[in-house]
Amino acid sequence: TAMPQLDTKAPAQKTLPDAQTVTEVRHWTDRLFSFKVTRPASLRFRSGEFVMIGLMGDPDPATGRQKPLLRAYSIASPSWDEELEFYSIKVQDGPLTSRLQHIQPGDQIILRPKPVGTLVHDALLPGKRLWFFSTGTGLAPFASLIRDPQTFEDYDQVILTHTCREVADLEYGRQLVEEVRSDEMLRELIGDGLDKLVYYPTTTREQSPKMGRITGLLKDGTVFADLGIDRIAPETDRAMVCGSLDFNVEIKGLLEDFGLREGANSDPKEYVVEKAFVG
C-alpha cells in the first residue's frame, strides 16, 4: 500500500518547523520500534521528561493547509547524550504512528523543544531505594533515567520492573540494562554487585522466567520474596510509574497502600506517575 513518504527534498520540508533529522531506526517487533534524531543545540532537558514530536499532517481537503500532527513522547536517551532517542508503539490505524513507523535515517520529524514532565528526580524526596514501574512503551522515560548517573548517586538501589505481553516486547529493555551494566561511567557507580541495579521483567501472555502482572506480584509479595528485600515503605522507598492508564491507577493504589504519597515538581513526595504514549 502507498504510504505518504517523507521527502526531504520537497520544498515544504525545508520550512518544516522545528525539524530534526532521523539518524537511526530499530524495529523490535511488529508493534514496537525505537529511533534516534539529531538534538537541537539549545535543547536542555531533565532525564525522564517528554517532548511533543510528530510529522506534518495530510493537507486539509478544503484549504490545502497542513498542520503538524504531534504527540507526547518521553525522551528515552539520557540528558548527556548527543542525540535524542524515542521508543514507540506502532498502531496500524494510529494517526501518527501508522506513518511514524516508516521513518528512515535522513528523514525529518518535527520536535518541539519544550521538555516537561513529572518523572524527574526533583519531584521525589530523598530515599534509599528507587523503583521504576513500567508496562510496554512506558519503559521509555526510565531508559533515560537509568542512564543518568544521578540515579545511582542518589539511591542505594534502583529496581526497574517492566511488564509486557510477550518476551520479544522486553528486548529493548533487556539490551538497555545490559548497556548500562557495561557502560564505563555508570559501572563505576553501580559496581560489580548485582544488587544496586535490579532488573525485574515479567510477561503476561507468553511463558518466561517470571510470569504475571507486576501489580499482582507486588500484592502477593512475590517481588519482595524474589529479591529478598523488605516491603515498600515510605521511609525508604521512592517510585516512578509509567504505563497504561489502568496500570497507573492500579499501581497508584498499591503505592498509597504502602504509605507513599504522590509528588510533583513543585511538591516533591514519595512517588510520581506519567501516562505512556499510546497511539
The window from 123-131, 152-160, 184-192, 242-250 that contacts ligand A2P (CB under 6 A) reads 242-250
The three cell numbers locating residue 166: 510477550
The nearer residue to ligand A2P, 136 or 173, going by C-beta atoms, is 136
DSSP SS3 for 99: helix
The three cell numbers locating residue 149: 548517573
Minimum distance of ligand A2P from residue 232's CB (angstroms)? 16
Minimum distance of ligand A2P from residue 222's CB (angstroms)? 13
Gap between the Cα atoms of 48 and 121, Å rounded: 8
Residue in 167, 171, 244, 254 binding ligand A2P, rule: CB under 6 A: 244
Neighbours of 79 (CB within 10 A): 18
Minimum distance of ligand A2P from residue 164's CB (angstroms)? 5
**What's the one-letter identity of residue 215?**
T
The three cell numbers locating residue 48: 525522564
Question: Does 204 engage in binding with ligand A2P (CB under 6 A)?
Answer: yes
Question: Does 205 engage in binding with ligand A2P (CB under 6 A)?
Answer: yes
Minimum distance of ligand A2P from residue 72's CB (angstroms)? 16
> Taking CB under 6 A as the rule, which mask of x and - marks residues 133-172 in contact with ligand A2P?
--xx--------------------------xxx-------
CB 186 within 8 A of CB 200: no
Residue in 187, 213, 252, 275 binding ligand A2P, rule: CB under 6 A: 213
Residues in 71-130 at the binding interface with ligand A2P, rule: CB under 6 A: none
Gap between the Cα atoms of 260 and 270, Å rounded: 5
Question: Does 215 engage in binding with ligand A2P (CB under 6 A)?
Answer: yes
Neighbours of 35 (CB within 10 A): 25
Question: Does 210 engage in binding with ligand A2P (CB under 6 A)?
Answer: no
Strand pairing class (129-135; 157-164): parallel
CB 262 within 8 A of CB 273: yes
The nearer residue to ligand A2P, 97 or 135, going by C-beta atoms, is 135
The nearer residue to ligand A2P, 226 or 246, going by C-beta atoms, is 246
User: Per DSSP, what are the bridge partners of residue 263?
Assistant: none
Question: Does 275 engage in binding with ligand A2P (CB under 6 A)?
Answer: no
DSSP SS3 for 218: helix
Minimum distance of ligand A2P from residue 61's CB (angstroms)? 34
Describe the chain by its helix, strand, coil percentages, rounded to 5.
Answer: 25, 30, 40
* Residue carrying the nine cell digits 503505592: 255
Residues in the site for ligand A2P, rule: CB under 6 A? 135-136, 163-165, 204-205, 213-215, 244, 246-247, 250
